[in-house]
Amino acid sequence: MLTSTDLIRVVFVDDHMVLVDSIVSRFQRDPDIEVVGTATNADEGLALILETEPDVVILDVELPGRGSFDIAEEISSRLKNTKMIFLTGYLSDIFIELALRVNAKGYLLKGEPIESLIHAIKKASRGEYCFSQSVQERLVFDHKKERYSIQSKSMLTSLTSRQIEVLRHLARGKSVKEVARSMHLSEKSIDSHKYRIMHKLGIHDRVELARYSIREGLTLP
């Protein structure tokens, strides 16, 4: 058991409140973990994380607002001692790739026992990696760089994390105006991202874009 000053301080950001309440309730019975706050969207989550500077942050890959990977980049650059774990229902190469890009220490799938998440939090707090088994099988470890990478041939790896977020919004049928409002960006910026996405992927219309997104596991059918 850790002392009060050594407790692992955790922030949980997920818009599924039933899941959050269930997990937080279980965390409260662990003597080594202290939940310092929860949030249900990316913007609230980022503000909370920057204010509390927790040891470990748990993020869903799909959040209302700016987007998980967008705020994860900011967390990685501003809070060097804060470790991130993504907890999601998506087993997608590009999401795993984006998690690794922002220096996340873990990528776990929802539906696994809560004990697996508790174990991952403790490992991440020590600077160790933690992945679900099905994620681990997709990774290779670079001993020179001391980090993992994913062997993916997907064209999506040519996109930035922000372009991935724009793509997901567009693939769900949102208009440029709606995407701009959701991501707090200008319509001109979204139009520019849309053009670059379609050019990089060799896609010419929104229907093809939606089909591609589903096929790559970015959105659900």
Please list, in sequence order, all residues whose beta carbon lies within 8 angstroms of the beta carbon of residue 129, skipping any fewer than 6 positions away.
105, 106, 123, 148
What is the spatial distance between Cα 192 and Cα 208, in angstroms, rounded to a whole number? Answer: 18
CATH code of the region 4-150:
3.40.50.2300
Phi first, then psi: give them for residue 166, nearest 5 degrees. -60, -45
| Residues written for the chain | 221
**Residue 35 · residue 27 · CB < 8 Å:** yes
Q: Where in the chain is the domain with CATH 3.40.50.2300?
A: 4-150
**Residue 168 · residue 92 · CB < 8 Å:** no
What is the spatial distance between Cα 48 and Cα 64, in angstroms, rounded to a whole number? Answer: 15
Residue identified by tokens 């650059």 is: 77
Level-2 CATH architecture, domain 155-215: Orthogonal Bundle (1.10)
pTM of this prediction? 0.82
Q: Where in the chain is the domain with CATH 1.10.10.10?
A: 155-215
Task: Please list the pLDDT of the chain residue by residue as tens digits (221 residues).
Answer: 555 558 999 999 999 989 899 999 999 899 999 999 999 999 999 999 999 999 999 999 988 877 899 899 999 999 999 999 999 998 888 899 999 999 999 999 998 999 999 999 999 999 999 999 999 998 988 887 778 888 776 788 888 888 988 998 888 888 999 999 988 889 999 999 999 999 999 998 888 988 888 888 777 66
What is the spatial distance between Cα 63 and Cα 158, in angstroms, rounded to a whole number? Answer: 22
Q: Tell me the torsion sign for CA atoms 152, 156, 158, 160.
A: negative
Going by C-alpha positions, the residue among 156, 137, 131 that lies closest to residue 218 is 156
What is the spatial distance between Cα 204 and Cα 46, in angstroms, rounded to a whole number? Answer: 35
